[in-house]
Amino acid sequence: MGTTPEFSRRDLIKRAAAAGLFAVPAMSALSACASGGGSDDNHVDKGKKSAKNPLAVNETAPLDVVIFNGGFGDQYAKDAEAEYKAAFPKAQVKHSATQDIQTELQPRFNGGAPPDLIDNSGAKQMDMGTLVGKQQLTDLNSLLDAPSFDDPAKKVRDTLRPGVVEMGKFEGDETWILYYAYTVYGVWYSRTNLQKLDAQYPETWDDMLKVCEAAKKKGIAGWTYAGKYPYYLPFSLYPFIAKIGGVEVLNRIDNLEPNAWKDPAVKAAFDAYYELYRKGYILQGTPGLTHIESQTAWNEGKALFIPNGSWVENESKKTTPKDFQMAVGAPSSLDKNDKMPFGTLWAAGGEPFIVPKNAKNPQGGMELLRVMLGKKSSQNFVQKVSSLTSFNGGTEGITLPPGLASSQEALAKAGKNVVNPRIQDWYVALQKEKIGVGALGEMMAGRLTPDEAITKIQRYADETAKDDSVKKYKHK
């Protein structure tokens, strides 16, 4: 996803530009990539700590970087690497970009020689819970407590958007992941195409159905989505559930609590989405579309709405009309009994960066992240890929493209009503293979009723909860 959402996002999720990326790895393969904690014996010697080198980087040590080449591409990382090279001219920087993170890096983890910094994103990402559980990652608190790149009076952690540091924690005080992008998830649409129907973004579900009906009469579908990778559906469905029943419903789902999926809010949300299928508001053929194909159909005006993450603006720019006016909407209100107000949104860190415990140059990996979290690199990312970073700023003086400007507006409207489901970070296989492909995709294709989908998902969640080989995490 992002690259992303990217679930992801992109996810999660996620965030791949190539249609063939999304073959989801089996849990056994995910688990195999992490075989134990290893030792620190292969680390290069640290350098001399100074104001310009607060992490004590060895100035001559090589740096090995692997970036997920999805919706965000990898040029932003190359640009930051050039800054690193300028600071440490004797250091050789090896840059690799791939869409097959898990496949390519598993042998290196098993051999005790992983890269120094990894953008562990895409559908073939390594399982975060497994990496943390097997003690395969470096605690990034030394990076977060280091002086920020632009202002030595501020720590890196103090320059980040709310919630980003917490996302990198699993249990205890260690921070294992730094999410670089900041993704806004929701229902994406074209202001131009809605205006052609004399419609505005529907703030209630009744209005959503009315807009879809009006579109249908003109031969336009209401919705499309990544039918082959239906774990994109939660990008709008999960915050819809939270809006209806409160954030505690998502927390119980994340915690794998018994009957969490049988909450009335889940049933109400599933019923509403199923109505889109039942009334013929889904673009014909959607269950067979990739994420790219569904985005292209949406760009072409064949459907009004698509659940996605904010990487979509960059990922689909080749097929987006100039007058499209891309925008993101928060979930519509189901009714007056909703627990959270309209504007409730899922927004969270995306593009998870990790420094392996057995990396030869962990200080170098963290220093590159420190560079990336400076204003110059953040602005470069914003301008190149139409996405925010986790650096809380970086947009001053920049003319934002429509989708990113809309994301900023949506965040401002949401205020404190921002949710962040953790199931896609904590239980990757459950989220993608089971919930997404095995149930939600089947329901939206009309092959399962909402009740059947809920029963199936609850069974999957219960199986994961009972599986001793899966490391468990809980909201505090």
Distance from C-alpha of 206 to C-alpha of 337, rounded to nearest angstrom: 14
pLDDT by residue (tens digit) across 337-357? 999 999 999 999 989 999 999
Residue 18 has pLDDT above 60, yes or no: no
What is the SS3 assignment for 425?
A: helix
> What value does the mean pLDDT of the chain take?
90
At residue 424, the pLDDT reads 86
Share of the chain above pLDDT 70, in %: 91
At residue 71, the pLDDT reads 80
Q: What is the mean pLDDT of residues 393-414?
A: 91
At residue 282, the pLDDT reads 98
Residue 9 lies in a domain: no
Residue 47 lies in a domain: yes
Specify the CATH number for the domain of residue 148: 3.40.190.10
Which position has the token pair 């709008």?
236
Residue 245 lies in a domain: no
Helix or strand run (H / E) with residue 186: strand 178-190
Q: What is the mean pLDDT of residues 159-170?
A: 90
What range defines the domain where residue 111 resides? 19-183+347-400
Domains identified in the chain, total number: 1
0.85 exceeded by pTM: no
- Alpha-carbon distances, residue 43 vs 56, 109, 134, 223, 360 (angstroms): 13, 15, 19, 51, 4
The identity of residue 383, as a single letter, is Q
Q: Higher pLDDT residue, 10 or 291? A: 291
pLDDT by residue (tens digit) across 67-105? 999 888 999 999 999 999 999 999 999 999 999 999 999
β-sheet bridge partners, residue 394 = none
Share of the chain above pLDDT 90, in %: 79
- Contact criterion met (CB below 8 Å) for 404 and 387: yes
Residue 46 lies in a domain: yes
Residue 353 lies in a domain: yes
Q: What is the mean pLDDT of residues 368-397?
A: 92
Distance from C-alpha of 154 to C-alpha of 143, rounded to nearest angstrom: 12
Reported confidence tier of residue 41, pLDDT bands at 50, 70, 90:
low
- Contact criterion met (CB below 8 Å) for 309 and 8: yes
Residue 451 has pLDDT above 90, yes or no: yes
Residue 432 lies in a domain: no
At residue 15, the pLDDT reads 31
At residue 444, the pLDDT reads 98
Q: Look at residues 290, 275, 309, 361 and name the one whose alpha carbon lies nearest to residue 92.
A: 361
Residue 145 lies in a domain: yes
Residue 31 lies in a domain: yes
Q: Which two tokens stand for residue 267?
A: 């049933």
